[in-house]
Amino acid sequence: MKIFLAGAGGAIGRRLTPLLRAAGHDVVGTTRSPDKAVAVAALGAEPVVVDVFDAAALTRAVQAAAPQVVIHQLTDLPHAPGTPGYEAGLERNARLRIEGTRNLVAAAKAAGVRRLIAQSIAFVYAPGDGVRVETDPLDLAATGARKRTVDGVAALEDATLQMPEGIVLRYGLLYGPGTWFEHEKRGAPGLHVDAAVHAALLAVSKGKPGIYNIAEDDGAISNEKAKREFGFDAAFRITS
């Protein structure tokens, strides 16, 4: 299958591309930086340098690739929580989720793509008792920086679900290779980066359109839907 992977040079994309190739898929991988194109190619993808905010260029890139599936793994968070630049990164990331996702969905539709898989987050549910499930509300009453994050997530998810086969993967707090927390779990809901990329791989060919919690069984959220629909396994690790 032909996959258009938006964000092939990111923490998820760098580990997802080899898994997609090992599964027999052809991958066209995007990066904003010409300097990263060589690294994307080394992972086994055909690199495309494109800015997701350039709607016309993005549409041309998706149409040229002619994929069966688009995977949205774009983020813009170069600074770790609690470090200088992190708050500004949240603002850029929210814009990417809102405007970037809108452009990517439009490009996918123009290319006749039906299935789009998008990275969301599972730690923006509204406060409440018990384990969170996909039908629980997001924290739309949030204020400050969290409000901007929640608004960005809501826009990303709404745009993705406009696709005929839109799939939203609500990831837990990432840890593991290539993340800010390589050697320790960040908290609940937690998710190892390898389990995250495996969920995206599974979603290429499995799962009905909709929203799925993708995280560990740590008492914060329920991942039963993903287990049932995808065969999601939070213990999955890349061994080679």
Name the β-bridge partners of 185: none
pLDDT at 194: 97
Architecture per CATH, 2-230:
3-Layer(aba) Sandwich (3.40)
Cα angle for residues 210, 40, 11 (degrees, 5° grid) = 50
pLDDT tens-place string over residues 48-93: 999 999 999 999 999 999 999 999 999 886 656 666 766 766 788 8
Whether the pLDDT of residue 111 is over 80: the answer is yes
Cα angle for residues 165, 190, 182 (degrees, 5° grid) = 110
Cα separation of 221 and 211, whole Å? 13
**Strand, coil or helix: 118:** strand
C-beta separation of 12 from 193 below 8 A: yes
Rg from Cα positions in the chain = 16
175: confidence class by pLDDT, cuts 50, 70, 90? very high
pLDDT at 187: 85
**Strand, coil or helix: 95:** helix
pTM value is 0.95
pLDDT above 90 covers a percentage of the chain that reads 85
